[in-house]
Amino acid sequence: MPERIVIPFGPQHPVLPEPIHLDLVLEDELVVDVIPSIGYIHRGLEQLVQKREFTEYVYVAERICGICSFMHAVGYSQGIEHIMGIEIPDRAKYLRTIWSECSRLHSHLLWLGLFADGMGFENLFMRSWQLRESVLDTLEDTTGGRVIQGTCKVGGVRRDIEKEKLDKMHRQLDPFEEQCRELGDVFLDDDTVKYRLKGLSVISKDDAYALGAVGPTARASGVAMDHRETGYAAYGDLGFKPVVETAGDCYARCAVRVKEVYASIDLIRRAIDQMPEGPLDVKVKGTPDGEYFSRVEQPRGEVVYYLRGDGTKYLSRARIRTPTLANIPPLVKMLPGAQLADVPVVVLSIDPCISCTER
């Protein structure tokens, strides 16, 4: 029987941008067991609800993650609005949807670049990030911020997108989609990519569901679960359908994200076409008194905000369950059976965000 050894993987690794820490149990080069360790980062973000008024905490929520920052703001604001019985204007819902899908685009394109880098495909990495830059330019043009937008607030949004800019965005979508499809064809059709990813670290539909997988990690295994289907923001008006694959391997997880790029472009196009007129926000009166679970579909999966107010201007509790936390048990299930050289690719396939996970 081969001798077993334990080697640390992370929190610093030349391939991974995230400080995830795994102890890998190996027999020769084969992974036979995985022991995850989380808690390398401590940020104290949840305790800040005791020091920031509920209307100000949205700025903290945005900084939980620099990639899906706008969606954190939506999740938090949506929870406070439900507790206080606030109905935001339709135009604010559509603007939140457009900026959320722009965030999903830039997150997925960032991930595709990192995934290509993890496979040693450097020119594909650079092309993915080149396309991502155009999304960041759009975010900067419409919100003033490339990474932290600061436009979502309790009661609606702070900024409008003028008709001229909406028309400009609409015109840019067709050539941008064509470029994304050219990029996606390489990820989905290249023989080298297929050889590296197909059949690698398969997780079945039953295991993905039982272990609580969310987002593309779950949908790549056939779990058709996407919180946008519930119709929050403007998704109920846009006819959204989730992207689902069934193979459950690294290739399927890549394919889901590639196809979600196309789906996000289509959602932005329809949101611009159907954009209603009207105000951007409503006046917020009073303080939150009650509790609510707010759920939003981020690029990595569903994020849950549990918020509780006691009638003061400070919340008494804020608990945030991020998608990476939910996807770590499925990752532990995926890794046994993989070669040591494939571990970075498998870890990247769930798109981990450890700063998100360790609030």
For residue range 55-89, list pLDDT tens digits in order. 999 999 998 888 889 999 999 999 999 999 999 99
Q: Is residue 317 part of a domain?
A: no
Q: pTM of the full predicted structure?
A: 0.95
Q: Are residues 261 and 139 in the same domain?
A: yes
The answer to whether the CB of 256 falls within 8 A of the CB of 300 is: no
Please give the tally of structural domains in the chain. Answer: 2
| 67: in domain | no
- Which parts of the chain sit beneath pLDDT 70? 1, 40, 359
Q: What is the pLDDT of residues 279-295, one digit of tens each?
A: 999 999 999 999 999 99
Same domain (yes/no): 139, 210: yes
Instruction: Please check whether residue 62 lies inside any domain of the structure.
Output: no
Predicted pLDDT of residue 141: 94
Same domain, 19 and 121: no
Task: Note the Cα 39 to chain centre separation in Å.
Answer: 20
- Asked if residue 59 belongs to a domain, the reply is no
Domain range for 10: 1-42
Same domain, 143 and 13: no
Verify that 153 and 218 share a domain, yes or no. yes
pLDDT, residue 203, reads 96
C-alpha–C-alpha distance, residues 42 and 354, integer Å: 10
Do both 166 and 37 map to the same domain?
no
Examine residue 308 and state whether it is found in any structural domain, yes or no.
no
Supply the pLDDT for residue 1. Answer: 66
Q: Do residue 12 and residue 124 come from a single domain? A: no
Q: Give the CATH number of the domain where residue 150 resides.
A: 1.10.645.10
